[in-house]
Amino acid sequence: MTPVERAQMAMVLEVTAYPKPGNVDRCHDYEGTRLEHFLASSILARPALEKAAGGRGGLGEVLREAVELTTAHGGGNTHFGAFILLIPLLRGGDIGGAIRAVQGSTVEDAVSFYRAFSLTKVRMLAGDPLDVDDPRALDIIRGKEMTLLDIMDHSKEHDMVAREWVNGFALTRRAADFLLGSGCGREAVVEAFLRLLSSEIDTFIVKEHGPLVAEEVRRRAAGILGGRGDLGAFDAECIARGINPGSTADITIAGIYIALGEGWEWDCSGKA
Amino acid sequence: MTPVERAQMAMVLEVTAYPKPGNVDRCHDYEGTRLEHFLASSILARPALEKAAGGRGGLGEVLREAVELTTAHGGGNTHFGAFILLIPLLRGGDIGGAIRAVQGSTVEDAVSFYRAFSLTKVRMLAGDPLDVDDPRALDIIRGKEMTLLDIMDHSKEHDMVAREWVNGFALTRRAADFLLGSGCGREAVVEAFLRLLSSEIDTFIVKEHGPLVAEEVRRRAAGILGGRGDLGAFDAECIARGINPGSTADITIAGIYIALGEGWEWDCSGKA
């Protein structure tokens, strides 16, 4: 499997793993965003992923291309957070290379990133001077000569995906280790997802529902891993309440990409 | 969407459409062959699909490459029948071009096809002098100078996928027309699949269960379309009895490929 195929497989394996509390999975869609949108996004992003792996284009430009390729359909944002992680990982080959890649990011990467961001419906925090909907944000970025890594540093407190850029992809590593320690196949993806969710509050839930709900979800995930509570019921409750641990999903995808490169078996046959 | 992306999307959209009587779908796996195997096959076949679209390599050689790329996993045969249709369609661009492509097939294509066949676990009819498990088959092919089109002609009575090569891709056209007449999205895929199943007995079911069962399935599918019988219950019964309309699925994939090229919307947003 090539690195790009590993990235595509990671996107496909994450979204089809189930039951996965609150997210689109094999058994659940959201209104307007269906399983098919995620699968289409995994296929249609390929030219941008190839550019990332082939060293062509800046990180921000490739990110913008990935978002453009995958918002052609009507399903809204599917893999924006995943691309923020996969593109430096593909550029660098592994976590060490990705750390070097993000350290080399530029002001132009930051500008392209903002243009990508504005194609999605992803919310930033109200009142942030770098709000994507505020046209002055680009002036601030250029005026302060902020690189894309600086942008991620600015966002790290409130966004666990951005935080990966500044903390050496620590949760990506953790997700990969959970997978490598959990056996093979989609059951391992579900377990790794739950372990990640139980170990770190999901900042996407914080943005949508506040920190108390995010902490409740973390604690419930830990409880299920400890044998307290039913995963199916928890999934149903999250969906009913619109609680979507989307950033944990993004990091799980990055973790699958790394784990596949380190011998983790998505297929339990011993062949793949 | 490029033609290769249309082919990949066709594979993904067919397998995730549900409820689909008897086959792997979003809600059902077979033991040893899971949804993930079909999705992986859709991603991993790409280099062969690119060769088909780019005019590189003979039809038989590209078919063998597609099978090799997609049997690296342990899920067994996933898209062999679909590749038999998609590869000439990609080579020719549309049905007219595919007809010309198969008419140009050679003895070497036939030999490569047999090598591809032997990588799968697909059964042929007992007693067929061209049985893939009989090493003399290749001698017969070379001795009689049979092209791959001749092989398909030999198999047409018992294999509706092979028949497509000699009948001008008539059922592929029919499946595309069902889709174009059924609206958008996965609901249209399910309806087109049922219409195809109700209009023609599935030869894969004939091979596995005999013609009476295949005719029963055809009649039941027609009944469901006419408002008699429940699709979910029919699906459950097919799975319990191991009845798998696999050739209808292959032709549905080819039909989706054609329909996507003619403006059919997989995504009902009006954007895709």
Q: In sequence order, what are the beta bridge partners of A30?
A: A33
pLDDT at A121: 66
> Residue A15: closest CA among chain B residues belongs to which residue?
B36
- Do residues A86 and A45 touch, judged by C-beta distance below 8 A? no
pLDDT at A36: 93
Mean pLDDT, residues B153-158: 94
Tokens of B61: 């050689």
Q: Is A47 on the interface with B (CB under 8 A)?
A: no
Give the whole-number percent of chain A exceeding pLDDT 70.
95
* A44 neighbourhood in chain B, CB within 8 Å: 1, 5
Quickly tell me which residue has 């059919």 as its tokens: B264
Instruction: Decide if pLDDT at A24 tops 90.
Output: no
The shortest CB-CB distance from A36 to any of B1, B72, B266 is to B266
Confidence at A133, pLDDT banded by 50, 70, 90: low
Q: Is B41 on the interface with A (CB under 8 A)?
A: no
Q: Is B11 on the interface with A (CB under 8 A)?
A: no
Q: What is the DSSP string of A27-40?
A: TB-BTTB-HHHHHH
**CA-CA distances (angstroms) from residue A101 to A87, A111, A145, A168, B98?**
9, 17, 18, 11, 45
pLDDT at A126: 59
- Do residues B164 and B251 touch, judged by C-beta distance below 8 A? yes
Tokens of A107: 């002001």
* B34 neighbourhood in chain A, CB within 8 Å: 186
- Do residues B107 and B150 touch, judged by C-beta distance below 8 A? no
Measured in angstroms, the CA of B9 and the nearest CA of chain A are apart by 7
Q: Cβ A266–B40 below 8 Å, yes or no? A: yes
The shortest CB-CB distance from B8 to any of A5, A43, A270 is to A43
N- to C-terminal Cα distance for chain B?
9
- Do residues B4 and B90 touch, judged by C-beta distance below 8 A? yes
Measured in angstroms, the CA of A267 and the nearest CA of chain B are apart by 7
Q: Cβ B36–A42 below 8 Å, yes or no? A: no
* Range with the poorest average pLDDT among A122-131, A153-162, B164-173, B192-201: A122-131
- Do residues B75 and A269 touch, judged by C-beta distance below 8 A? yes
**CA-CA distances (angstroms) from residue A151 to A105, A163, A165?**
10, 10, 10
Q: Cβ B73–A36 below 8 Å, yes or no? A: no
Tell which residue, A242, A4, A131, has the closest CA to residue B43: A4
Give the whole-number percent of chain B exceeding pLDDT 70.
96
Confidence at B82, pLDDT banded by 50, 70, 90: very high
N- to C-terminal Cα distance for chain A?
9
Rounded Cα distance between A206 and A211, Å, is: 5
**CA-CA distances (angstroms) from residue A5 to A86, A229, B42?**
12, 36, 11
Instruction: Decide if pLDDT at B127 tops 70.
Output: no
Q: Which residues, at least 6 apart from B8, have a Cβ–Cβ distance to it below 8 Å?
A: A43, B42, B43, B45, B46, B49
For chain A, list the strands marked E by DSSP.
none
> Helices (DSSP H) in chain A: which residue ranges?
3-16, 35-44, 46-54, 59-70, 80-92, 95-103, 107-119, 136-143, 148-155, 160-166, 170-180, 185-199, 203-209, 211-225, 231-241, 246-261
Q: Is A39 on the interface with B (CB under 8 A)?
A: yes
**CA-CA distances (angstroms) from residue A144 to A114, A138, A148, B129?**
15, 10, 12, 77
Q: Find how far residue B72's CA is from the centre of its chain.
A: 19
Q: Cβ B12–A186 below 8 Å, yes or no? A: no
pLDDT at A50: 98
Q: In sequence order, what are the beta bridge partners of B105?
A: none
> Residue A69: closest CA among chain B residues belongs to which residue?
B1
pLDDT at B25: 84
Q: Cβ A271–B74 below 8 Å, yes or no? A: yes
pLDDT at B271: 62
Measured in angstroms, the CA of A164 and the nearest CA of chain B are apart by 27
Measured in angstroms, the CA of B269 and the nearest CA of chain A are apart by 5
Mean pLDDT, residues A30-40: 89
Over its C-alpha atoms, chain B yields an Rg (Å, rounded) of 17
> Residue B37: closest CA among chain A residues belongs to which residue?
A267
pLDDT at A206: 96
Q: In sequence order, what are the beta bridge partners of A25?
A: A28
Tell which residue, B104, B79, B78, has the closest CA to residue B91: B104
Tokens of B71: 């049997």
pLDDT at B190: 96
Confidence at B76, pLDDT banded by 50, 70, 90: confident
pLDDT at B119: 76
The shortest CB-CB distance from B5 to any of A43, A185, A266 is to A43
> Helices (DSSP H) in B120-184: which residue ranges?
136-143, 148-155, 160-166, 170-180
pTM over 0.90: yes
- Average pLDDT for chain B: 92
Q: Which residues, at least 6 apart from A236, have a Cβ–Cβ distance to it below 8 Å?
A: none
ipTM score above 0.90:
yes
Mean pLDDT, residues B26-46: 91
* Range with the poorest average pLDDT among A27-31, B157-161, B172-176, B202-206: A27-31
Q: Is B187 on the interface with A (CB under 8 A)?
A: no
Q: Cβ B36–A267 below 8 Å, yes or no? A: yes
Q: Cβ B44–A73 below 8 Å, yes or no? A: no
3-class secondary-structure state, position B72: coil
Measured in angstroms, the CA of A12 and the nearest CA of chain B are apart by 7
For B:145-164, CB contacts with A below 8 A are none
pLDDT at B109: 97
Q: Is B13 on the interface with A (CB under 8 A)?
A: yes
Highest mean pLDDT among A33-42, A77-86, B251-260 belongs to B251-260
Tell which residue, A95, A91, A41, has the closest CA to residue A66: A41
Rounded Cα distance between B84 and B87, Å, is: 6
Give kind and range of the element (H or E) at residue A44.
helix A35-44
* A9 neighbourhood in chain B, CB within 8 Å: 40, 43
Rounded Cα distance between B11 and B39, Å, is: 8
Phi, psi of B115 (to 5 degrees): -65, -40
The shortest CB-CB distance from A36 to any of B37, B74, B186 is to B186
- Number of A/B CB contacts below 8 angstroms equals 87
Q: Which residues, at least 6 apart from A131, have a Cβ–Cβ distance to it below 8 Å?
A: A124, A125, A137
A136-162 pLDDT per residue, tens: 888 999 999 999 999 999 999 999 999
Cβ burial of A139 (10 Å; 0-12, 13-18, 19+) is exposed
- Do residues A24 and A243 touch, judged by C-beta distance below 8 A? no
Q: In chain A, count of helices (H) and strands (E)?
A: 16, 0
pLDDT at B242: 93
* A266 neighbourhood in chain B, CB within 8 Å: 36, 40
Instruction: Decide if pLDDT at B101 tops 90.
Output: yes
B109-125 pLDDT per residue, tens: 999 998 888 777 666 56
Mean pLDDT, residues A256-271: 91
**If you ran DSSP here, which 8-state letter would residue B19 be given?**
S
pLDDT at B128: 75
C-alpha torsion angle, residues A248, A270, A35, A59 (rounded to 10): 50
Phi, psi of B154 (to 5 degrees): -60, -35
3-class secondary-structure state, position B33: strand
